[in-house]
Amino acid sequence: MSGGDERADHHHVVIALGANLGDSVVALRAAVESLAAHESTEVIAVSHAYATAPVGGREQPDYVNAVAVIRTGLAPLDVLALAHQIEAAHDRVRTERWGPRTLDIDVIAYDDLASDDSTLTLPHPRAHQRAFVLLPWSEIEPGAVLPGHGAISDLLTGVSDQRIKRLDADVSDSLAVAPPSERSR
């Protein structure tokens, strides 16, 4: 995976967003706005927000999660760098694996790319096990396939025991992206 900008190509990228410190919905909205503001990205779709139980780690508040789909000319590592910049702007501190956070942005899938790169594994190695990725993603791309794992609609059956609840919050409020309820399915 190269760094550098590949403006001639536009890639389909699935991004998972989460937060459980501060006003999580505001943080997710700001993250989506930052993705949309980048000159090499276009936000195509954003799910509703979902309240989810934390996975792993110590006892902590529930998370608010969402999924965004972007079109970008950025290479995979540059998408990750952009995600880290946006997290840093929200005071994300990486001190504890699966610990509480002001903002977490993960690259779930980049086109159909499969990579075991130590910096960015694609698709995300645990996405197929996480309702907080699969359910919001299925809301905005019901026919999506997670490379190497299959249809997300099928993968959802394997995570039905995970606590997740759709919130009324629309993460794309201030963007020119149609809210999930107005998109054709």
Query: Which entry of 7, 58, 62, 101 is annotated as an active-site residue?
Result: 101
Annotated active-site residue 112? The verdict is no
Annotated active-site residue 173? The verdict is no
The 10 Å CB-count burial string (b at 16+, else e) for 130-164 is bbbbbbbbbbbbeebbbeebeebeebbeebeebeb
Query: Which entry of 29, 78, 106, 130 is annotated as an active-site residue?
Result: 106
Q: How far apart are CA 133 and CA 170, in angstroms?
A: 16
Query: Which entry of 104, 111, 161, 168 is annotated as an active-site residue?
Result: 104
Q: Residue 135 corresponds to which tokens in the numbers above? A: 């359910």
Query: Which entry of 29, 78, 92, 130 is annotated as an active-site residue?
Result: 92
Annotated active-site residue 106? The verdict is yes
Largest pairwise CA distance in the chain: 46
Annotated active-site residue 94? The verdict is no
Distances (CA, A) of 109 to 49, 125, 167: 19, 10, 24
Q: How far apart are CA 46 and CA 141, in angstroms?
A: 10
The sign of the torsion formed by the CA atoms of 11, 16, 21, 24 equals: positive
Q: Report the 10 Å Cβ neighbour count for 76.
A: 23
Residue type, 95: T
Q: What are the residue numbers of the active site? A: 92, 101, 104, 106
